[in-house]
Structure 1
Amino acid sequence: MDRVGGTDATEGPFESLRTPATAADLLLVLAVPAALLAAAMLPLSVRRSLVFEYADPTLYTATVSAFVHVGPGHLAVNLAGYALVVPVAYLLSVANGERRRFRVAFVSLLVACPPLLSYLNLAIVRTGGSAGFSGVLLALYGYLPLALATHAERQFDIGRRRTTAPLLFFVGLTLITLLTLGAVATYGVTVPYRGRTVAVGHVITATLVGLLAALALVLALYALSATGERGDWRERLRTAADRAGHFELAVVGLGLFLMLPLATFPVDPVVGGRVLNLYTHLLGYALGFIASYVLVVVESEWLGPP
């Protein structure tokens, strides 16, 4: 049989789902929306008491606040995002024989990100609090660059995962920076200082412009490295298009990766009377990718293939 990237070219991406392990994985994946919906059934006063307050932080609220939503709209958006990101990430992992790696990354991010993201919010001095699953959702989204890069390498023999994954991460970071720059330029940013508010939009704008310049250089370097690694990409892309199932899954995954920031980093960050915490969204994306990528490096160097 023909083989591409070390896998059977006639095997579809969903063949590996036909195993009892899929049922266990389904229960694991569904446990999160079940927990979010159960928390939404709590009285409003109880949910408000579980918000992570910046002026009175506790480890308990830092952890549970990620699973609590004060408004139904916020919950619906996060459930919709979860229903898109996690199944695609899971299907990509299973198609490439990385079911165990998905489980490890999924559980690790669910456990570590809520308290970590909450306490990282304290780096910005302000009043108020935070609640909701969006930061953790963006951490799970941060797993997608690695899953897509693995799929490209193993199914289409395009690029090397350890080069393509950072390239995709920086593509996402560039898109996020552009969207954030648009929000800052349009609405400005103020911070409390000695009893008054101070406009800092010009400072953040200059910082974001500098970051974009740095990202452009990084993307150029990674693109040059990726294109120089293996042969004719156009021929490989034509071959990839013939991989029925695998090609469509890659297109859906890449489309989701490029489109999700438009919803999670809107130019107008005020939605339903509340301001989206873009800072937490960015931290979640970065932490999700870094943790997943480090997992791959550690397993590859110390433990061998999964």
Structure 2
Amino acid sequence: MGVSSSDLTSDDPAASDLDAVERARRARIGDLSVLFVVPFVLVAVFALPIEARRAYAFSYTEPTVVTAFTAHYVHLTPTHLAGNLVGFVLLASVAYRLSVVAGRRRLFFTSFVTFLLAFPFVLSGLNLAIPRDAVGFGFSGINMALLGYVSVVLVTVAEDCFGADGTRYGPALFFASTSYIVALVLPPSVTAIGLAAIGIVVAIPYGHAAARRSSRTLRGTVGHALATPGYSELLGVCAVVLLAYPIAGFPRPTPGGPRINVYVHFLGYALAFLVVHVFLLVDRRVPPVART
């Protein structure tokens, strides 16, 4: 009885490895194709006449369900569009890479679709909590949701790979980052110092509890991560993004300068952080068999 070449290939470890590499390559290409739909849509919307773009912006005095969604994909100036495109490419690429490392590719795309389709309605609706005669537009709120996602998954990587207590380091990072945002947005004052101090005071107990429950100290976790090939570069990029991107996302208002809605920026960041963190808390309590 003869043996076909296909039978030999299926039992060849080298061929199986090549097949796995090819499948991974195709998966990455497919993932990148999905991600680049967003820049394509943003540029296509910007190509519309200015009158059409203004009509799809979100008026706080005359809100509609349609503009609550479309406003987040509308930009009126090339500078605004370019800034959000650069921010999206940076945040989406870091978020995707972190998710792959953490084995959370499905979580990334579920969150990604949620940010694109559900968050526009939520952010626009919450914007109405502050009555004002203004018009809102731009992708920044969704970009800030991606920043919140990066923060949570960074803690998840530290937990899964280096034994950190993500259930407590997560809240510690959130309150510490909130204090950082307050320091960026508000001019120096007693109120600003008080709000920033509250965030730090709340973060410290979470960080202390996380350090006690982790298999390593915070310094040991960071040291081990930086000494691990591949992780050091990725975690270094994440740290730079978490420190640098809020400077662009939460600029301090200046007289005569552009009016930037830091409120919706913070909402995007905080809601994404909360939703993803709570999901991971629930997911940790699901038995592996049931999760599969």
Give the TM-score normalised by the residue count of structure 1: 0.81
Higher helix share: 2
Tell whether 2:273 aligns with 1:250: no
**1:265 corresponds to which letter in structure 2?**
F
Instruction: Go from structure 1 to structure 2 and tell me whether the alpha carbon gap of 1:52 and 1:286 turns closer, same or farther (over 3 Å shift).
Output: same
Deviation sequence 1:86-113 (CA, Å, 0-9, x none):
1001101101111011111111111111
Q: 1:270 to 1:72 in 2, by over 3 A?
A: farther
Deviation at 1:232, TM superposition (A): 4.2
Q: Secondary structure of 2:285's match?
A: helix
d(CA) in 2 for partners of 1:129 and 1:237?
44
The Cα of 1:47 is off from its aligned counterpart by 0.3
Q: Partner of 1:211 in structure 2?
A: 195
1:35 shift after superposition: 0.6
Q: Give the equivalent residue in structure 2 for 1:107.
A: 113
**What is the rounded CA distance, in whole Å, between the counterparts of 1:222 and 1:39 in structure 2?**
44
- 1:173-201 superposed Cα distances (whole Å, 9 cap, x missing partner): 1110111112xx5xxxxxxxxxxxxxxxx
SS in structure 1 of the partner of residue 229 of structure 2: coil
Residue 269 of structure 1 deviates from its aligned partner by 5.0
Q: Secondary structure at the match of 1:126?
A: coil
CA contact (8 A) 1:148 1:254 kept: no
Structure having the larger proportion of residues in strand: 1
Residues 1:221 and 2:205 are matched in the alignment: yes
Give the letter for the 1:55 counterpart.
Answer: T
1:250 and 1:88, CA in 2 relative to 1: closer, same or farther beyond 3 A? same
Q: Aligned residue for 1:170?
A: 175
| Cα distance in 2 between the residues matched to 1:148 and 1:25 | 20
Aligned residues: 269
Match of residue 155, structure 2, among 145, 149, 155:
149
The question of 1:299 aligning with 2:248 is answered no
Quote the residue 2:68 is aligned against.
Answer: 62
**Deviates further, 228-237 or 169-178:** 228-237
2:164 corresponds to 1:180? no
For the Cα contact (< 8 Å) 1:270–1:276, is it kept in 2?
A: no
Q: Displacement, 1:127?
A: 0.4
The structure whose RCO (Cα within 8 Å, separation 6+) is larger is 1
Compared CA separation, residues 208 and 147, structure 1 to 2 (3 A)? same
Give the Å deviation of 1:290. 0.9
Deviation at 1:270, TM superposition (A): 6.6
Aligned position for 2:14: none
1:17-50 deviation digits (Å, cap 9, x = unpaired)? 9343222211211111111011010000100111
CA distance in 1, matches of 2:246, 2:286: 34
| CA separation of 1:237 and 1:207: change in aligned 2, threshold 3 A | closer
Distance 1:54 1:16, change over 3 A: farther
Q: Judging changes above 3 Å, is the alpha-carbon distance between structure 1 residues 137 and 238 closer, same or farther for their aligned structure 2 residues?
A: closer
User: Distance in 1 between the 2:224 and 2:268 partners?
Assistant: 35
Match of 1:92 in 2: 98
Instruction: Pick which of 226-235 and 56-65 moved more.
Output: 226-235
The range that moved more, 77-86 or 16-25, is 16-25
2:7 aligns with none
Q: Match of 2:59?
A: 53
TM-score (norm 2): 0.85
Change (3 A) 1:295 1:55: same
Partner of 2:214: 230
1:113-152 maps to which residues of 2 (within 5 A)? 113-152=119-158
Identity across matched positions, percent: 37
Gaps of 5+ in 2: 1-20
Deviation larger for 24-33 or 63-72: 24-33
Q: CA RMSD in A?
A: 2.2
CA contact (8 A) 2:176 2:200 kept: no
